[in-house]
Structure 1
Amino acid sequence: MREHRVESWLELQEALFAGSWNEALGRFRPSFVFRGVPDAGHDLSTSLNRQGGAFASHERDLLRAFRKYARGTSSRPCESVWDWLALAQHHGLPTRLLDWTFSPNVALHFLTEDPELYEVDGVVWCVDYRETNRLLPKPLQTQLREEGADVFTAEMLEAAAGDLPTFDRLTKHPFVLFLEPPSLDDRIVNQFALFSVMNGPMLRLDTFLESQKRGVRRLIVPASLKWEVRDKLDQANVTERVLFPGLDGLSRWLRRYYSPRPR
Structure 2
Amino acid sequence: MEDIRVTSWLELLEVLHQNSWNAELRRFRSPYVFRGQGRAARLTTSLQRLSGETRDLERYLVRAFRKYAQANVQTENVLWYWLALGQHHGVPTRLLDWSYSPLVALHFATAEERDYDKDGVIWMLDMATTNAALPGPLSHLLQHEGSSVFTTDMLATFSPRERSQGLSFDADIQWLERMERESGHPFLMFLEPPSLDQRIVQQSALFSLLSNPVDDLETWLGQYDGAARRVHLPAELKWEVRDRLDQANVTERTLFPDLGGLGQWLRRYYRRRGDEMPEQEQDRTPEDERNRHR
With normalisation by structure 1, the TM-score equals 0.96
- Post-superposition Cα deviations, 1:119-138, rounded to whole Å, max 9, x if no partner, equal 01111000010110000111
Determine if contact 1:31/1:130 at 8 Å carries over to the other structure: yes
2:60 is equivalent to residue 48 of structure 1: no
- The structural deviation recorded for 1:260 is 2.7
Overall identity of the aligned pairs, in %: 54
2:39 is equivalent to residue 39 of structure 1: yes
> Which structure 2 segments of 5+ residues have no match?
161-171, 276-294
Determine if contact 1:161/1:167 at 8 Å carries over to the other structure: no
RMSD (CA atoms): 1.3
Shifted more, 6-15 versus 200-209: the winner is: 200-209
Determine if contact 1:49/1:56 at 8 Å carries over to the other structure: no
How many pairs are equivalent?
A: 261
Q: Which residue of 1 aligns with 2:196?
A: 184
Q: Give the distance between the partners of 1:118 and 1:227, measured in 2 at CA.
A: 8
Matched position secondary structure for 1:143: helix
Matched position secondary structure for 1:7: coil
Query: Which of 256, 259, 262 is matched with 2:271 structurally?
Result: 259
Q: Structure 2: which amino acid aligns with 1:80?
A: V
Q: Which residue of 1 aligns with 2:8?
A: 8
Q: Give the distance between the partners of 2:150 and 2:159, measured in 1 at CA.
A: 12
Q: Give the distance between the partners of 1:28 and 1:55, measured in 2 at CA.
A: 40
Determine if contact 1:125/1:219 at 8 Å carries over to the other structure: yes
Q: Structure 2: which amino acid aligns with 1:38?
A: G
2:144 is equivalent to residue 146 of structure 1: yes
2:119 is equivalent to residue 107 of structure 1: no
- Post-superposition Cα deviations, 1:131-180, rounded to whole Å, max 9, x if no partner, equal 10000111111111111111111111111245122112212311111100
Q: Give the distance between the partners of 1:259 and 1:77, measured in 2 at CA.
A: 43
| Matches for 1:73-84 after TM superposition, within 5 Å | 73-74=72-73, 76-84=74-82
Q: Structure 1: which amino acid aligns with 2:60?
A: D
2:26 is equivalent to residue 26 of structure 1: yes
Determine if contact 2:54/2:214 at 8 Å carries over to the other structure: no
- The structural deviation recorded for 1:77 is 4.2
Determine if contact 2:135/2:179 at 8 Å carries over to the other structure: yes
Q: Give the distance between the partners of 1:91 and 1:222, measured in 2 at CA.
A: 30
- Post-superposition Cα deviations, 1:70-124, rounded to whole Å, max 9, x if no partner, equal 11302x5434111111001101111000000000000000000001100011110
With normalisation by structure 2, the TM-score equals 0.86
Q: Give the distance between the partners of 1:64 and 1:11, measured in 2 at CA.
A: 46
> Which structure 1 segments of 5+ residues have no match?
none
Determine if contact 1:48/1:202 at 8 Å carries over to the other structure: no
Q: Give the distance between the partners of 1:164 and 1:135, measured in 2 at CA.
A: 19
| Matches for 1:104-143 after TM superposition, within 5 Å | 104-143=102-141
Matched position secondary structure for 1:100: strand
Q: Which residue of 2 aligns with 1:68?
A: 67
Q: Structure 1: which amino acid aligns with 2:211?
A: N
Q: Structure 1 residues 138 and 161 mapped into 2: Cα distance closer, same or farther (>3 Å)?
A: farther
- Post-superposition Cα deviations, 1:169-206, rounded to whole Å, max 9, x if no partner, equal 21231111110000000000000000000112212211
Shifted more, 189-198 versus 243-252: the winner is: 243-252
Determine if contact 1:9/1:228 at 8 Å carries over to the other structure: yes
2:199 is equivalent to residue 201 of structure 1: no
